[in-house]
Structure 1
Amino acid sequence: MEDLPITLSRCNVFTNGELDTERPIPVVPKSHDGVLNEKQLVDYKDRRVRFLSWLLKVGKHPEKAEGYSPYTVYSTAYRTARFDLWLWEQKNEYTYPPQSDDAAAYMDWLAFSDQSQVMKGKAQEGLQHLSKWLHHEYGYDEWEFEYTFDGSGGNHQPQDFLTREERRAIRQAALNEGNIPAYDSLTAEERNGWKLYISNALGKPYDEVTREDWNEVNGWEITSLVWTSLDAGLRPNEVRNARTEWVDTRNGVLRIPKDESSKNEGNWTVSLTERTATALSRWLDEREQYKRYEDTDTLWLTSHGNPHGSSSLRRLLHRLCDQAGIETANRKMSWYTIRHSVGTYMTKERDLAAAKAQLRHKNPMTTMKYDQVPVEDRRNALDRMG
C-alpha cells in the first residue's frame, strides 16, 4: 500500500487555488492498509476524492455551491471510511459505492454496539453526507434509516409514525388511487386483453362488456402497494424487491424468502388483512395487462417501469397525505412512517413478540423501541387522572 493520508489539495481537485487547511483530509486512512489490491485502491481513491471534494465545494447547499467546512469533511472522511471497511469485512469483498441496504445494516450494527450515542449519531451523519453525494452525482435515492440516533447523547428512537386515524385516512386515499388505461389509448389487441379483465372484474360476460364499462373499473396497483405496506410495514427496499411469488392470497400472507428479504435474515410469513389480500388478488390479475410487467416478476413498478425507491415512495405518501388532509409540516414523513405505525400499534394491540414477527426483526432489541405508549393514549390517561 502506498502513502495513505492524502491532502485533497494535493490531488488537483480544485480549479481555483488550493485549500488552506492545517490538517490533511484522509482519502484512504491507515486502517485500510493491506485491505485493497492495487486496482481496488485506484478505484476507491478516485471515488473518495470525488466525494470529499464535492463536500468541500458544494456539499452543504448544492444549489448555492456552498460546501462544508474542512473540519466537517475531515470528520466525515474518517467516519465513512470506517463504514466502508466494516462493509468489506461483512461481505468479504470490495464494493463501492455502497447501497442503501448496506447503510441500513450498518445502522443496525451500530445500534447494538458499545459505542456512545454521540458516536452513533456522528456516524449516521457521515452516512447522510455520503448519501447526499450519491443522490446529487449519481441519481441514487437518498438513504432513509429506520431510526435516528441523537448525536447529543439521547437514545435512538423510531421516527414519526401514523396515528390510527391517519392510517385509516391513508388507506381510504389509496383506495381512490389508480385508473386503468383509457379506452381510446389502447390498440385493438390491448383493448381485447383489458376487455377480458373488465369482464372478470365486473362478473359480466365478455361479449357484453361495453366502452362505458371502462369507467366502472379502477386500478389496484397503488392500492395494493399501500395496503400491503400498512399491513406488513414494508421497508422501501422490500417494496422494491417484492416479487409476485411472495403473495399468497389464499392464506392471506406474504412469504418473504431469505435471499430476497431486505436484510437477508430469514424466511418470514407476514399476515395480511382480508381487504389487502383481495386488493393483491385484483392487482395480480390486472398486472397481466401491462407491458411494463411482461418480462419481470417484480410485484410493483413505477409508471416508467422502474422499481420503486425511497424518493418515489416518499412522494406517494405525501400525495396521499395531501388527499387525506394529513398535515406533513414539521414531521419526518417517509415510507418508514408507515412501518413505525405497524410496530407501534401491533405492540399495543398484541405484544412485542407479535410486532417482532410482523416487522421481521431478528434482534428483539430492535422491536423494543416500539414499546412506548402513543401520545393519544397518554393524553387520555391524563384526562382520566383529572
Structure 2
Amino acid sequence: MASKEENSNTTREISTEQRMYHETDDGEKIRLMTETAKRQFDEPVIVGLYRGQYAEWLLEEGIEEDDGSRVGHSVSGATNLLYRLDQIQRYCHDQFGHNPTAIGPRDAEQFSDALLDDEWLTQTGKERSDDDKRKLLDALEKYFEFLAETEDRETWKARYKPQQTSYESYDDFKLAERFRLREAALEYGSLPAYSKVSAEQRTRIKRYLSQKLGKPMSDITPDDWERNSSGLCEASLIWTALDLGLTPKEVGAATFEWINLSAGTVNIPSDEESKDREDEDLALLPDTVQLLREWRAEREHLDKYDDSNRVWLNRVGNPYSSGPLNRLIRQLCDEAGIETEHRKIAWYSIRHSLGQYLRSVGDLYEANDQLRHGSLETTKVYSDTVVEDRRESLQAIYERAEKEAEREDQLGDRLSLLSD
C-alpha cells in the first residue's frame, strides 16, 4: 500500500474529481468524498487517495471472521462506512483543525463525547438517534482497525455505544444500588471554580450563597464558595428519577410548572408523557422535594438557565436526552462502585428497578400508576391508587435500600478484617 509521501508526490497528476470515486473490480463506483468535504478540506486529493486505500481494504478484507480469516464488505456496506467516515472527519477537521487523515485516539474520544452528549446535531438541528450514534461509532472503530492493520497505528474502541436493545432487556439496579446512586448523586457536579467565572456570574452566585448562608454578600469568601460548591442539578435529577422512573423524553421536557413542591407531587402533562394516560399526581419523597426546592434556588443564579424553563440542562446547556443520561448513569455507577460489566445498565435501569420494587413493597396498581403505564397489559389490570400510598411505598423502598447498602458495607468490612 502506498505511503503518504508517495501519495503526495502523485497529487499533481491526479485531479480532485478522479479521487472522488473508487472503482471496484466489477466496475461499480463508490463515492469517496462528499462535495462538502471537497470544499472544506485543504488537500482533498490526498484525502481522496487515502480513502481510496481504505475503500480497497474494506472491499477486500474489512471483516474478520470467527476463525480469524478476513473477507470484504459488500459495496453498499463499504459505501455506508465511507460516508460516515466523511461525516466524522469533517466534524474533527472543523472542531480540532486536524488533517482528516491524522485522526488519533484522543480525537476519537473527543468526537465520541460530543456525539453521546448531543453536542453534534443533525443538519436540521435535531439530536441524533441512538441508532445513528452507534453506527457512527462503529464506523470510527472500523477506520482505526484499518489504520492498525495497514500502518501499525494504535487502535481505538469506544468506551460506550448505545446498544441495539429493546426496552425490556435493560438490567435493573439492585436495591442497595438505588441507595448508592442517591448518595453518589449528592457528590456529583459542583459550582464553577471561583477563579474561572465571569465577574457577572460570580456576583450572581455570591448573591445565592449569601441567601443560603444568611450572611452579607460582601462577606462571601472563596472558602464559602468551596464549602458550598456541591451542585444540585444532577442530584435533584437522579433523586426525582428514582422516585418517578422518568423517561429521557420526560427529563428533557420537565419544567417547574409540573412540580407542586407544597404538595410534594409532579403532574406530567399527557402530551409530554411517554405513555398515553390522563394527567395525574405522582408522589415524591420529602427529601426529594427539599432537594428540588434547593435546586430551584441555585439554578436561578446560573447563566445557562437564563433563557430556559427546563428543570435540568446538560453541561452544554441543552435539554437532556438519552445519550447524556446514559453517560451520567455510567459516571455515577463508577463513583458509587456499582458493577456494570456484563450488565445492560442504562438510564432505563432506574425505571425498571422502580417498577420491580414498587410491586414488591406496594402492589401492581401502585407500580402502574407511578410509572404511568398506558395499558394494563403491562401490569395486568388498571385501578387508580392514592398518592399517599405510593409515597409510603417509595419511602419503604428507600429504607430497605439504605439497610441493604449498610449490610453490604458491614459484610465488606468483616471480609476485609478476615483477609488481614
**TM over 0.5, yes or no?**
yes
Decide which of 7, 13, 24 is 1:16's aligned counterpart: 24
2:171 aligned with 1:160, yes or no?
yes
Structure 1 CA distance for aligned equivalents of residues 63 and 349 of structure 2:
26
Unaligned runs of at least 5 residues, structure 1: 1-12, 21-55, 73-96, 104-127, 148-156, 370-375, 377-386
Cα displacement (A) at 1:203 = 3.1
Pick one of 157, 173, 185 that aligns with 2:184: 173
One-letter amino acid of the structure 2 residue matched with residue 245 of structure 1:
E
What secondary structure sits across from 1:366 in the alignment?
Answer: coil
Look up the SS of the partner of 1:346 in the other structure: helix
Equivalent pair of 1:158/1:340 in contact (CA under 8 Å): no
Select which of 324, 334, 346 maps to 2:346.
334
Instruction: Tell me the distance in 2 between the aligned counterparts of 1:344 and 1:69.
Output: 45
Q: CA deviation at 1:201?
A: 1.9
Q: Distance in 2 between matches of 1:238 and 1:59?
A: 41
**Inter-partner Cα distance in structure 2 for 1:19 and 1:330:** 45
- Among 255, 259, 276, the residue aligned to 2:288: 276
Looking at structure 2, the residues matched to 309 and 247 of structure 1 have their Cα atoms a distance apart, in angstroms, of 20
RMSD: 4.0
Q: Structure 2 counterpart of 1:203, which letter?
A: G
Q: TM-score, normalised by structure 1?
A: 0.58
Instruction: Please state whether the residue corresponding to 2:379 is helix, strand or coil.
Output: helix
Aligned residues: 262
| Shift in Å, 1:66 | 8.8
Aligned sequence identity (%): 38
Verify: 1:262 aligned to 2:274, yes or no. yes
Tell me the alpha carbon deviations over residues 218-254 of structure 1, each in whole angstroms, 9 at most, x when there is no partner: 2101101111111111111211121221222211111
- Counting only pairs closer than 5 Å after superposition, residues 219-258 of structure 1 correspond to structure 2 as 219-258=231-270
CA distance in 2, matches of 1:355, 1:268: 14
* Structure 2 counterpart SS, 1:295: coil
Distance (whole Å) between structure 1 residues aligned to residue 185 and residue 72 of structure 2: 40
CA distance in 2, matches of 1:144, 1:269: 33
Asked which structure has the greater CA Rg, the reply is 2
Counterpart in 2 of 1:204?
215
TM-score, normalised on structure 2? 0.54
Separation in 2 of the partners of 1:338 and 1:19? 53
- The runs of 4+ residues in structure 1 deviating greater than 4 Å are 17-20, 56-61, 65-70, 128-137, 141-146
Tell whether the 8 Å contact from 2:201 to 2:303 is kept in structure 1 after alignment. Answer: no
**Residues 212 and 68 of structure 1: is their aligned pair in 2 closer, same or farther, counting only changes over 3 Å?**
same
Query: Is 1:302–2:310 an aligned residue pair?
Result: no
Which residue identity is paired with 1:219? Answer: G
Contact 1:253 1:271 in 2 (8 A): yes
Aligned partners of 1:223, 1:164: CA distance in 2, in Å?
A: 18
For 1:234 and 1:135, the matched residues in 2 are separated by 27
Supply the distance in 2 between the matched residues of 1:364 and 1:202 (Cα, whole angstroms).
Answer: 49
Go from structure 1 to structure 2 and tell me whether the alpha carbon gap of 1:206 and 1:349 turns closer, same or farther (over 3 Å shift): same
Q: CA deviation at 1:68?
A: 7.7
1:290 aligns with 2:302: yes
5+ residue gaps in structure 2?
Answer: 1-20, 29-57, 65-69, 78-123, 140-160, 382-400, 402-420
Q: Given that residues 189 and 233 in structure 2 are in contact (C-alpha distance below 8 angstroms), is that contact kept between their aligned partners in structure 1?
A: yes
Cα deviations across residues 166-215 of structure 1 (Å, max 9, x unaligned)? Answer: 00011100011121122222333222211121122223343432232101
| Cα separation, 2, equivalents of 1:206 and 1:198 | 8
CA distance in structure 2 between the aligned counterparts of 1:226 and 1:285, rounded to whole angstroms: 18
Partners of 1:15 and 1:254 lie apart in 2 by: 60
Query: SS where residue 365 of structure 1 aligns?
Result: coil
